[in-house]
Amino acid sequence: MRPVSEILHEARAYHCYSCGKCTAVCPVAAVDPEFSPRRTVERGMAGADLYREDLVWSCVTCRACLHVCPENVDFPAFILGLRREMLAAGRGPDHTHGEMLQTIPRLLAKGTLLPKRLDWADPSTVSRDSPVMLFLGCGPYLETVFGYLGGGHIEIAKAAIEILNRLGIKPRLLEAEACCGHDMLWTGDTATFEQLRARNEATLKASGVKKIVFTCPECYATLKDRYDLKGVELVHLSELVAGALGNGGLTLSSQEGRVTYQDPCRLGRHLGITKPPREVLDAIPGLERAEMGHSGGMARCCGISAWIQCNAIAKQMQIARVKEASGVADTLITNCPKCLVHFKCVLKEEGKDIPLKVEDWTVLVARSLKGGGTHA
């Protein structure tokens, strides 16, 4: 195993001057007194063997700590470095759902599995040779696992196609698209991630697509930060819609309700995209939007990263977030598949007395567009 001091150096941890801002904003530390980014860094610099501690798996890698750090100490990168070494040594985390959601990417990484994942798509709404591709991510698989929660992930994909059609785009869907590898990357499974990255890069380059549109923030962040796709434009769907509204190219119909928006960690802090989703919501007549106390760069994570550590601590984070949302709105809007699953799940299992609904941003916008029109 690599020395902890080496990983600390790469993450700029030796620049830490123990101000404690990271711990003050950490969503895990807010509910678990045993976890502290500041204290973890200090103990590592003091020579503690952090490889022996399960707290390495508690971090949700949301980057709230990095967002406020005056010395730009990359604590999530430090955690990722430790995870790679621990996983290689056979000391992995507690996986959710019987490790099913790790098994699927591993099977896809081998390149011998080509599942039929597009049977739901209407051929008249998509194209075989469009230069614009819709990256579906793991939505078709999540539908199988979490369909019982309602508001499914295939519905999100259909809504995205509806929106793109209204923008004059018939997107291409690639059957050979594999998992982006986000969860493998952030659990430290570098080998599987590199296999998935290589497979997707080859598929995308061979396809000749010039623009890739995303609904999943984790897919977007992974392809933007970790892939080599020179000459291909990457864009989140909310950016496209906000741009069309700004140019007068779309009209949204009225939707009633009080909503608040959940900033996904990857879209908000990792990519800095906080305004476009809100601009679109604000353009929907009849919709009242309120901000939670923690929003934008300070938004609280949904509690679980990469389908690991779904424990009592994670549930406390989720309950705290849905209570915060219910204090200002009737519906919590998010455009992250994990946020959608985790908030729906905790409300169903432990928050039945919390008056809150959870809905996907893409589905809401598509519903609003059905009553609106496009301008020439």
Residue 114 dihedral angles phi and psi, to the nearest 5°: -130, 85
Predicted local distance difference test score (pLDDT) of residue 111: 80
- Which sequence spans correspond to the domains of the chain? 4-88, 97-242, 248-370
pLDDT at 283: 96
Single out the residue of 21, 73, 72 nearest to residue 45, CA to CA. 73
How much is the pLDDT for 375? 31
Q: What is the pLDDT of residues 220-264, one digit of tens each?
A: 999 999 999 999 999 999 999 999 998 887 889 999 999 999 999
Would you state the CATH architecture of domain 4-88? Answer: Orthogonal Bundle (1.10)
Mapped onto helix, strand or coil, the DSSP state of residue 146 is helix
In percent, how much of the chain has pLDDT > 70?
98
What type of residue sits at position 287? L
CB 255 within 8 A of CB 364: yes
pLDDT in tens, 318-375: 999 999 999 999 999 999 999 999 999 999 999 889 999 999 999 999 999 986 433 3
Question: What pLDDT sits at residue 372?
Answer: 42
For the chain, which ranges sit under pLDDT 50? 372-376
Nearby residues of 261 by Cβ (< 8 Å), 6 or more positions away? 277, 278, 281, 289, 291, 295, 333, 334, 361
Q: What is d(CA 39, CA 18) in angstroms, rounded to the nearest whole number?
A: 8
